[in-house]
Structure 1
């Protein structure tokens, strides 16, 4: 398998719920997918058999969040103790391995990590944001249940939210893919905790936004963005580059990759039919006249254009206008 799970100190890994891959102890393994060329989202399904949902799933993420998406009926409650965390560069994203517990819908979920996308993957009423953080959880009683808290960030001319401010000084230590560094002072989630109490939160059932694009993931997308300063944003962007999956079809609709493939196949079929003379609406091709036939020139319009063609009229042929 291309994607291996990761275990750190008896907890869910930093990335096992993001890309479902592992790393060996003390190492950061680079995932075998990307965001351009043949490793990009349009070809994820071809990278490994387990990625089939990337091209066939009908409830894929991210989406444009509008009035068709319901609001969460309750607020998630986060309990994240102060702790030393690991800050890693996975090449496809940067992420922080952090433990915590989130209560939502009468169930408890273990926080495994949060990672960053630039620009945002989700859009709210078609508006995208410069940056999006995904806080990834798995169920404590049922580890197959995955909840992702999606938080948008907007550029500001003041200081960044404490979450971003906590990681910004450590960015120079993880500029290379596969690098990692501890953050001994931990992460300040105070801005996130306040935001969850004041902002509307949208809820929908979607998928992982990276291979294998597994469905059944609960997304809690926070409407109001937090702040990120221009210098902090630029520093993150230089490392992360572009790592946003394209917007998917409306929930329940045909997979956008399948729609494109069907359209391409239809276009190819129409082209073949036209070449075979089966499409009456297609532009007719020139067929050389046989001796004794009549050539009718219906109309000549436009300015004369120089042409290397030479017309030869055989004896017995006549032209009429």
Structure 2
């Protein structure tokens, strides 16, 4: 009888620990892939995310969800160029099952957006792109996730779109391709490898304009209040480089969400050609 009580107590403790880990993972946007999927029509697919956990209901009820199709925009005169303070640092690469993620073991600087300072926390990739522009979907999308230096709950994401149409290589993806390949096929969601020294300052094209809007995380728990900046100059990548990102999963892009009453603002970089209506077309590289 005593042994049975011990077994019951151990099971209860184990359940509590698992539940606590799940809540923590959900809070930081790193929910285990086993709990959701990107397959349309799947019981754990995007249209069902809100039903999978109680604190994921905003995935369905939220009115400021991401990603979106960037179509109607307003050219804004009060936006400024992105002010970078990025620094090179030793990187660590992870296979989170639903994507590849890169973060740093030390400081790596950040970005000032609309007068607020954000620290770069991690970078991950989606294939194909989650955001579309005038209905055009791109081969891949990189998300640079930042947190407010004084409030970790306040997040800003810079998105870079990639296209393999021109067949040109991306130095960024070329340098990371061996690490994607080493992590491909890992199944427990905790695999990581030491990466190269990475300087994110080279990842944002200073000659690019950008789109800005208020949105959410694109994975459960779909937390809103995220400041999105989507670079309008599309980066080149080879098909092989795109495939190396895709090797983590067949596809990991959430469908576009309703824009509702939100306004997407556009910052035109100095020297850029005049943007046509209704929205600036993706800028050629």
Query: TM-score range, shorter-chain basis?
Result: 0.7 to 0.9
Task: Please report how far the alpha carbon of residue 240 of structure 1 lies from its aligned counterpart in structure 2 after TM superposition.
Answer: 3.0
1:159 pairs with 2:169 = yes
Alignment of 1:224-263 (within 5 A): 224-252=233-261
In the alignment, is residue 77 of structure 1 matched against residue 83 of structure 2? Answer: yes
Could you say which residue in structure 1 is the equivalent of 2:54? 49
Residues 259-300 of structure 1, C-alpha deviation per residue, up to 9 Å, x if partnerless? xxxxxxxxxxxxxxxxxxxxxxxxxxxxxxxxxxxxxxxxxx
Q: Deviations over 1:2-57 (max 9, x none)?
A: 74447xxxxxxxx964x255xxxxxxx65622212111111000110110111111
What residue is the counterpart of 1:108 in the other structure?
117
Any gaps of 5 or more consecutive residues in structure 2? 1-18, 263-285
Q: Distance in 2 between matches of 1:69 and 1:123?
A: 17
1:60 to 61, 65, 90: 65
Could you tell me how far apart the structure 2 residues matched to 1:51 and 1:226 are?
Answer: 33
Structure ID, larger Rg: 1
Q: Is the 8 A contact 1:3 1:32 kept in 2?
A: no
CA–CA distance in structure 2, aligned partners of residues 150 and 207 of structure 1: 13
Which residue does the alignment assign to 2:200? 189
Which residue in the other structure is 2:276 paired with?
A: none
- The TM-score, its normalising length taken from structure 1, stands at 0.67
Provide the C-alpha distance between the structure 2 equivalents of 1:142 and 1:39, rounded to a whole number of angstroms.
32
Relative contact order, higher structure (CA 8 A, sep 6+): 2
Q: 1:88 aligns with which of 87, 94, 107?
A: 94
Per the TM alignment, residue 209 of structure 1 is displaced from its structure 2 partner at its CA by 0.7
Alignment of 1:14-53 (within 5 A): 17=28, 19-21=29-31, 30=33, 32-36=35-39, 37-53=42-58
| Residues 231, 222 of structure 1: alpha-carbon distance in 2 compared, 3 angstrom cutoff | same
Partner of 2:212: 203
Structure-2-length-normalised TM-score: 0.75
Report the Cα distance in structure 2 between the residues aligned to 1:69 and 1:212, rounded to whole angstroms.
29
SS of 1:133's equivalent in the other structure is strand
Per-residue CA distance 1:132-174 (angstroms, 9 max, x = gap): 00000110122221100011001132321x2212211212221
> Secondary structure at the residue paired with 2:112?
strand
CA contact 1:3–1:20 (8 Å) conserved in 2: no
Equivalent-residue separation in structure 2 for 1:225 and 1:207 (angstroms)? 22
RMSD of aligned residue pairs (Cα, Å): 2.2
**Cα distance change, pair 208–128 in 1 and its aligned pair in 2 (3 A):** same
Q: Distance in 2 between matches of 1:70 and 1:210?
A: 29
**Cα deviations by residue, 1:193-216 (Å, 9 ceiling, x for unpaired):** 3x1x21110110011111111111
Offset, 1:75: 2.0
Between stretches 131-140 and 233-242, larger displacement belongs to 233-242
Which residue of structure 2 lines up, in the alignment, with residue 170 of structure 1? 179
Q: What secondary structure, in the 3-state scheme, does the structure 2 residue paired with 1:172 have?
A: helix
- Partner Cα distance (1:236, 1:54) in 2: 25
Q: Distance in 1 between matches of 2:237 and 2:249?
A: 15
Q: Contact 2:100–2:180 (CA<8 Å) still a contact in 1?
A: no
